[in-house]
Chain A
Amino acid sequence: MSAAWTISSVREAIAANKISARELAVEHFRRIAARNGELNAYLTLSEERAYAQADKIDAAVAAGKQLPALAGVPIAVKDVISTRGVRTTCGSKILNNYVPPYDATAVTRLEAAGAVILGKTNCDEFAMGSSNENSAYGPVQNPAAAGTVPGGSSGGSAAAVAADLAVASLGTDTGGSIRQPGAFCGIPAMMGSYGRVSRYGLIAFASSLDRIGPLARNVADVAAVLKVMAGRDANDSTSTTAPVEDYSAELKKPVKGMKIGVPKEYFGEGMDSGVRGKITAGIELLRKLGCRVMDIQMPHTDYAIATYYIIATAEASSNLARYDGVRYGLGEEADTLVATYRKTRGAGFGPEVKRRIVLGTYVLSAGYYDAYYLKGQKVRALIAQDFRNAFQKVDAIVTPTSPVPPFNLGERTNDPLQMYLADIYTVTGSLAGLPGISVPCGKIRGKLPVGLQIFGPAFGEARVLQLAHAFEEAGGATV
């Protein structure tokens, strides 16, 4: 992994004619062919589309044209994000043969910036999971720690970057699904604020939570990919008109004097002692960088998982009603229309998706709506208020990304509640709609990666990236 490509090294090499975009794509497809059988990070490759794009970049180089920000950069896209003409399964059997008739805006913007889309990455079915073991197409191996899960749900996207099978990737985050796999695979991974990146073409799981964001080899690359995708899109009414900062330029600003809040609620029982040790060392490093670290309180943290599993499952049960066996995807034949729905959905969805649809239907049902869904929305408001209060006193909040290091494949699959609790530190920021990043923060016994999570206030992406960049530059990955 020593000579791993980054966005800046790709740009330099292509501009200096040291490698062509096509050669770079070939190099990546060769590595994918060699390693994907073992890792299972990619579900579908889009070679034709990648080479067509690479040739366009190479023609631009030959013509002496100015190259766009991501010219020739090989990127992998999570399989819940639509790609025109390229199979998109959501990790589900119900979409086994689905080929979207249009591109997600995030993909359109990446390609317009010169990126080369290599293919679609494995994930938990409909992004529901924390280990990638809920994919209908088999689990993904964690390239950073053999035998452990890569995290989820964007496990394939994290593994592809960590194994050098892409320079950057797109994931989606609903309760931690970008940040936690980033932490488990030892790479930086970010979700911007709710509304920052258009979700047009993202196949919906929980609409008030879902976000698209980048995973990459370093924070500068995360910033560059986020910048390309961010901004208002007329096709997504939830995308914001708030101005997009120049994240790459903002990166280098000093962090000295920045006020960092550390909430004690994120260091409670159930936290692995190895993780605690690394995060403590990471916070010490921030102090050495001149940040002012202070203890803060976020009293509703402990209620976040319960709130999340009401809201996310409720929205999922509504969103997944569209899989009806009639319009696209799997269609099981039956005598009546209702029987078609039932049979198709029973055969096409996997166990975790079914569990969440049933739970979501329950919390929305007449008689239980107030007790669960309305209650959840109220506690969500309290959790968001915790963050607003904290950001009156501090510039950023620092926590562990996950209470535990990567666990072994198969270790947690029989106990859904235990699996849900692995998201305890990430769901809070999801519920509050805030930007968050996970950056590598050492490895336990030199083997298991730990992630440090940084939250910023709404649309404070630049500050989050600055701090993450300073942490990385100061050697955060080896604390």
Chain B
Amino acid sequence: MAELAYLDLTEAELETYRVQIDEILEYIGKLNELDTANVEPMAQVLADDQTADATLREDIVVPCAVAGDILKQAPDPEPPYFRVPKVIER
């Protein structure tokens, strides 16, 4: 899971989490006491008519000159780019 989540964990962390997450999953297992075969999953909190975006908004152009500010937050920028280690081998 740590691999999937791109998360470096130490051996000690892995051991601690293994025990703790087993315990949490065992607790979560109590949901199996409930028969939910005929229950629709709640994937939305708001009803459709409670938001304005049930329909598409108008496409309006607004200025958004924030690239400089945003790049300033990057650990290793090379304006106007973010720099990353080489990803494609020739």
Q: Tell me the number of A-to-B contacts counted with CB atoms below 8 Å.
A: 166
Q: How many of B's residues come within 8 Å of A, CB to CB? A: 50
B contact residues around A372 at 8 Å (CB): 28
Instruction: Verify if A391 is at the interface (C-beta below 8 Å from B).
Output: no
A379 engages B27 (CB within 8 Å): no
Instruction: Verify if B11 is at the interface (C-beta below 8 Å from A).
Output: no
CA–CA, A374 and B39, complex, Å: 10
Instruction: Verify if B2 is at the interface (C-beta below 8 Å from A).
Output: yes
Q: Which residue of A lies closest to B28 (CB)?
A: A306
Q: How far is the CB of B51 from chain A (nearest CB, A)?
A: 6
Instruction: Verify if A416 is at the interface (C-beta below 8 Å from B).
Output: yes
A361 engages B5 (CB within 8 Å): yes
Instruction: Verify if A408 is at the interface (C-beta below 8 Å from B).
Output: no
CA–CA, A309 and B39, complex, Å: 20
Q: Which residue of A lies closest to B66 (CB)?
A: A101
A365 engages B1 (CB within 8 Å): yes
The main secondary structure of chain A at its interface with chain B is: helix
Q: Which residue of B lies closest to A325 (CB)?
A: B75
A237 engages B7 (CB within 8 Å): no
B contact residues around A351 at 8 Å (CB): 13, 16
B contact residues around A307 at 8 Å (CB): 31
B contact residues around A354 at 8 Å (CB): 7, 9, 13, 17
A contact residues around B4 at 8 Å (CB): 361, 365
B contact residues around A357 at 8 Å (CB): 5, 7
Our pick among B24, B40, B43, B75 for the contact of A416 (Cβ within 8 Å) is B24
B contact residues around A302 at 8 Å (CB): 30
Instruction: Verify if A201 is at the interface (C-beta below 8 Å from B).
Output: no
Find residues 297-322 in chain A having any chain B CB closer than 8 Å to their own CB. Answer: 300, 302-303, 305-307, 309-310, 317, 321
Instruction: Verify if B59 is at the interface (C-beta below 8 Å from A).
Output: no
B42 engages A378 (CB within 8 Å): yes
Indicate whether A416 sits within 8 Å of B20 (C-beta atoms), given known contacts A238-B51, A328-B73: yes
A residues whose Cβ falls under 8 Å from a Cβ of B: 98-99, 101-102, 194-195, 208, 232, 234, 237-242, 300, 302-303, 305-307, 309-310, 317, 321, 325-331, 333-343, 345-347, 349, 351, 354-355, 357-359, 361-362, 365, 372, 374-382, 384, 416-417, 420, 433
B residues whose Cβ falls under 8 Å from a Cβ of A: 1-2, 4-9, 13, 16-17, 20-21, 23-25, 27-34, 36, 39-43, 45-46, 50-53, 57, 66, 69-70, 72-76, 82, 84-87
Q: List 7 interface pairs A-B (beta carbons < 8 Å), by A numbering.
A: A232-B52, A303-B34, A329-B73, A351-B16, A374-B41, A380-B42, A417-B27
Across the A-B interface, give the 7 residue pairs with the lowest CB-CB distance, nearest first: A331-B75, A346-B8, A377-B41, A101-B69, A328-B73, A381-B42, A378-B36
